[in-house]
Structure formats: structure tokens, C-alpha cells
Structure 1
């Protein structure tokens, strides 16, 4: 009896010690606001209550376990939801934003699962509008491909990231297409390079993705608009991006350049240019950007997006925000618009709470 009590006590102590080395955190964002759209999918204007205008509404679990010797096991499960009606985002997936696990140590990190791509990370780091606001660059990058899986997020993916060395970091990723007898079918390969030091932030990425679905029924901001001449198809997409941000103190300058090629049923070359600025104003942050999309294979094929925004903190975890954009398309282009040559307008105002 005495030995049994001692054994139980030792087991409890061992379990407690293991638990003490494991850290699991619940976190999330609730982002809600009012928006006005005109010309994005229909000619008329629409008012709506919308979720995730500044940052996608989410709830997630982040965990790490110290394995000793500088080695740790990490995992992350992140759900995206629409706070305006309570429905799931990201195509109805339970963990549609991220779902991965792996190891981290002196060698860097190695993770497996659904993860952000190099393109997504590079654009997010440079664009003053981030991921979701009215002027964000991902909605126009590669003619709207920036918001499409697997350009933005990759399933069945293995990534390796080096340790940060004097501000430099590299990341490699491979998405398995999981197609019998065809290793490259449906796969994606990407690489990201970055330098962050002092006032300077430089980001670069390259991605080669097979099996990106294009269809005439899809629309930009939900998926993509198919460039004229391509038609409905599944294509290979090669996209590269390089950008930088420099903090001058009173103002931050944002610059970016992207090159995207759609292949398999022809070649369409898309060039993207980003010029932006962000600055502290009246206790908050003001942002502005110009994004130009040039479809080089289409006559008069260019689109220009102009945007302004402002965010004001009410506390460390809650802020108010607003943003507005105007997209002007040339005659052969309908980026963010219902028909070729149409212009588009969007206005957002809302509140974001982080927990």
C-alpha cells in the first residue's frame, strides 16, 4: 500500500513537471464593421455589415513544448469565422487559416500542414494595408491571385526556415500534390528571403504552383477574374515578388514589385507595382498606397488602385479603423469590377478586438 502511494505520487510529480514545460495559449480576433461596395461584382452599390475587414476574425490554439537541449515542438490550429453571421470562413474548413505542427531549434524550424506561402508572407510584411483592408495589395497581385489557395496558403506542405542570422532569414516550402504517378501535379514550391534590421525591412519570394483553377464563373475578391483569352482552365502559376519598407521616423515608405506568369494554355504576364506610405497622425496611423496591375498581353490592359486608411487605438487590444479604395480599369481589364473597363469603389469602417 505504501509503495503504491509512493508510485502514484511520483507519477503525479512527473506529470506535473511535463505539463509545466508545455505551453498552450488560446487567442483570437473579432473584427466587425460596415462596408460599402460599388462595381466589385455588380454595377449597383451595396451596404453591408462585414467581418474581418482589417484582420480576419479568428480563434486559435498555439502550443509549444520544451523538449530539452534547445529543441521544442510547436503546433498551431487557427479557425477563421465570419463574426457578422457566425459562419465558418475559408471555404467552411474547421482550421482553414492554419493547421500545422513541427520542430524548432538551433537548426531553424521544420513544420508540416496547412501554412502560409512565401508570397503571402512577403506581401503582408510590406503592404501598409496588410491583408484585408480596402487597399490591400493581395486583392490585385497577379490579377487577384494573391488571395487564392494555394498562392496564399498551402495544404499538405512541408516548410523549413533558417535561424535569423544578422537580420537575414530564408524559408523553403513544398506542397505535395498527392497525385498518383505524377509528383509535380498539383504541387507548389516556394522560397522566401528576408532581411529585417533597424529601419529596413526587405522581402523577396518566388513560387511555382501547379493546378491553380481558373474559371469564367469566378470573380475577383472571391477567387479571380480570368484574363481575356485564357478561358476556364487549370494552369501553372509562377510568381515572384520583391519589396521593401524603410522607417524614416516621421513616415514609413513601402515599395513592391511583382511578376506573375500564367501558363499551360498560353502565357499571360502580369506586372504589379506598389507604392505606399504610413505615418503616425493624431494618435493613430494613417496609410496610403497606389497599386498598378499591368496585363502585358492585353492591349490597354492596366488597372490602378488608389487607397487611404486610418487606424486609431482605444487600448492595447482594441482599435477603430477605416479605409477606402478606388480602382480604375482600362478597357480590356475588369480587376475588382463586374465588367471590362468598369471602375470599383469600396469603403470600410469598423472595430477590431484582439484577445
Structure 2
């Protein structure tokens, strides 16, 4: 007889499971973390614990509200109440600092448009269609154009994620030393490529994306001191030639945004640009069956809700890449998304 069924046929009461489910279903703590990030509370605790009156003044918060929020978060290990009404940082709170090497302060914005979409996630579950488009009557990127403040905060969240991705990919992939040139296809404003080139000083890079997308990359490259090692090329990977002849081609969170027909065209354009000894690196969520707890599965739900694509299975990637003239040589796990290495099929 299963452990969760009593002799009377009723479910066995497993209090630990009930408590765990309540914790997973509760959105109080995620909202509290996001609000604390918005106020920059962790930044004011860098030099040590502070009493609530001082911390509230520096954070522009109401003292009693801040006290209640920090006590709730301290109960989860985020901040610590060192003495009554005095709070400091914990290891979990450290990444909420703006100056942390992999700062996550901007990773968790409170975006009204997103929250309204999640409130109707049942629509997505019933129909398979984007609740964001259902609620707002427009696509995600159209909405961001009309709401520049939310768009700015969204960009900040992407930059925070990129800092983490750079570090995880660098440590997971053992072949960087043999790559002297890389093209970041659909690389946005170049933050990921800048992260790579800053740490791999033997490498040269090319950033390739729509002209209006790469417009801000020049300034970022100057700030990073990389203008002599990185070329910026504006163009469409569907309509224009992808820069050719590099050792490696990178697609970071690009392929998942497109249906199979467009993804096949994108991959074919990249394949045309590659040498026979070049390799393709794909870094994005992959959907694995089973009960494993992977960040990609949660990202897949974000895509489903916001109407931005899907995470493919490894089998689907094999088929898609094979149809475009590639074969997968290995799939490398990272703390974020897998890194899929593919080479031209012989």
C-alpha cells in the first residue's frame, strides 16, 4: 500500500509535505525580496548591521514596515536580526548588494505588466496562449516600448542574469583556451561578450545583432577597454550574412525565441558562416524529462506566460540542429542552463 494512503483509503497526513507545499506556493517572500531590492536595503548594510531607524532613513522606508519585512526575511536566512531591531547581511543577502561581483539586486524587479500577466496564468494553462498578450492586448516587446521605465528595469534584470551566466559558462566549458575568435550571434548590447573577453584575454570577439540593438555596445566596449579586440556588426541573422570564419559561434538565449522554421533558418545562416573546424555553442534552457529540479523548467514557464518561445528537449535540439547541418558533440551542465556544443556534420 502506498505510504500516502491510510487503511481507510484517505490520504495520509504528511505535515512536512504540507508545510513544504505552502512554502513553495507562497509569494510573500518573493515579493518582499523584490521590494527590498528596489529600495537598495542591502547596500546600506555593507559596513555592518544597522538599527531600523537608521536603515529606514537611508532606504527611504517606513520604519515599522521595514522592521516587519526584514524579520520575515531573516526567518528565511535572508538578513539577520543581530539584536532586537538591528539587522545585518547574511550570505543569502550578500548578492543583493549593488557592488557584489554577481549582484542580483536588479535581477528581481517588480514589473506591473508581468505581475498582471501572472495573475491570469490560469488563462495560459487553459489555452496554451500567452496570458501577457491576453491581459495587455499586445506582445511583450510592444508593451516594453510603450512602458520605458519597466523596459529599463527589465534590461537591468537581464544584465544581472548575464553576470551569472558569464561565470557559470567560463567555469563549465574546458575549451576556451583553444578558441581565439568568437561571434556572439544575437548578442544584444554585448554584455555577455564583454564578460568573456574581459576574462579570456587571448580572444577576439564580434558582436552581431540588429543595428538598433548594438547601438549602445560601442560605449560599453570603450568602458571595458575592449574596442581593439571586439568588432560590432549590425545586421539580421535571417536576412544578412553572419560574420564568417570564427573559431566559435555563440547563441545565448536566442534559439528558444523562435519556432522551428525560423530557428532552422537562423542555424543555417550560422552554418554557412562557419569553417569546418568551427564549433557552435548554445546556452539556453533545455527541457529534460523527469523530476530533476532545473532552472530551465521555470524559465520555460516564463516563456509560456510572456509569449516568448519555449525550451526544447535534447531530442528536439538534435533534430533541429541535424536538419541545419550540425551534430551535437556534448551537452555540458552548468548551474544555470546547459551549454550545448555542436559541430558541422560530416
Q: Structures share a fold, TM > 0.5?
A: no
> TM-score, normalization: structure 1?
0.24
Under a length normalisation based on structure 2, what TM-score does the superposition of the two structures give?
Answer: 0.24
- More relative contact order, 1 or 2 (CA 8 Å, 6+ apart): 1
Structure with more strand by fraction: 1
Q: Which has the higher helix share?
A: 2
